[in-house]
Amino acid sequence: MPGNFLNPVHDDYKYDPDKHIPDLSSKVIIVTGGNNGIGKAAVTELAKHNPKRLYMTARSKTKYDTAMEDILAAVPTAKVDFLELDLASFASIKRAADEVIADNDQLDILINNAGVMGLPPHPTTKEGYEIHIGTNHVGHALLTKLLMPLLLSTASSSSSSSSSSPNTPDVRVVTLSSGAHNMASSGVPISRIATPMEGTWSFSRYGQSKMANVLFARELARRYPQITSVSADPGRVQTPLLDEKFKTRDFTTYFQKTYDLFASVLDPRQGAFTELWCATFDKAKVKSGEHYVPFGHRVPGHKKSRDEKHARELWEWQEAEFKKHGY
């Protein structure tokens, strides 16, 4: 496999969120997909550090309530707000963004964590996009776009500074990618996003969505230098989602055994470390437009993920789609 697909762990900073996450009492934070797996682990760690406001997005209040049982067991003082969000629906994304904007005068950290993998063959989002790219990339791109005025106003305010750089604005967007982006060696099939992508293996479609995440983070950094935008690879994480996918015919026993032989297998808490590092570590160490693997180690990513023309084309395509739908 090319690049860092097998995700060796580079613990450059001996990362420990209990020690390295600073006081967050001035920060408003959103974690998408915070009700399960890596996202729930990230919310749990952030809740320990007194955030001004911490949102967990989930598709239902029931999913939020179930997650909060675990979070409160780990952090009895945790205060986490529910934000209903279905990234496969533009209307749901708009409602969520409107709620955040109406209730807050700042947004310091947006962690685009949510994702889907290995869904049944050829479903689409409500607007007709292939479900993996539509949810993992297009949905997050629209959410980020709708929240951009609040992110930018926060970046221009002194309240957004970091503890290590008190006079420097510090607003961050962290987009979760994966080593699977290396599988999309030809990039994102932009002309096919608004189709079910029939005939394409589900893991290939997932890899293309993860390539889109890296391209999006890089282009966001280029277009909005006021904001720190990075992509984060969590590593090979032992989650119920991935374990279930390894049981399907798309993920053979041979592939799993080969993968785990060379990969560093992490638990969900460790899987959250890289996005937490990107979101809260010393701003001087987090370089906008870059791609990070466990734990806070900067790597180039696949060469196609550094294709500026491809990133621009993807951005222009999504903007045209948003305009077509009235956003």
Among candidate residues 160, 162, 177, 231, the one labeled active-site is 177
Residue 232: its H or E element: strand 228-232
The DSSP output letter for 119 is P
Give yes or no for a contact between 94 and 146, defined as CB atoms under 8 angstroms apart: yes
Catalytic residue among 27, 210, 245, 304: 210
210 is a catalytic site residue: yes
Spatial distance between the Cα atoms of 276 and 219, rounded to a whole number of angstroms? 21
Q: How far is the C-alpha of 204 from the C-alpha of 202, rounded, in Å?
A: 5
Residue 241 vs residues 33, 36, 38, 41: alpha-carbon distances, Å: 13, 9, 11, 14
* Catalytic site includes residue 177: yes
Active site (annotated) includes residue 191: no
**Active-site option among 206, 224, 259, 292:** 206
Angstrom CA distances, 2 to 264, 296, 301, stand at: 17, 20, 9
Name the residue among 240, 292, 286, 233 with its Cα closest to residue 263: 233
Give yes or no for a contact between 138 and 200, defined as CB atoms under 8 angstroms apart: no
Q: How does strand 28-31 pair with strand 109-112?
A: parallel
- What is the Cα 19 distance to its own chain's centre? 23
The residues assigned a catalytic role are 177, 206, 210
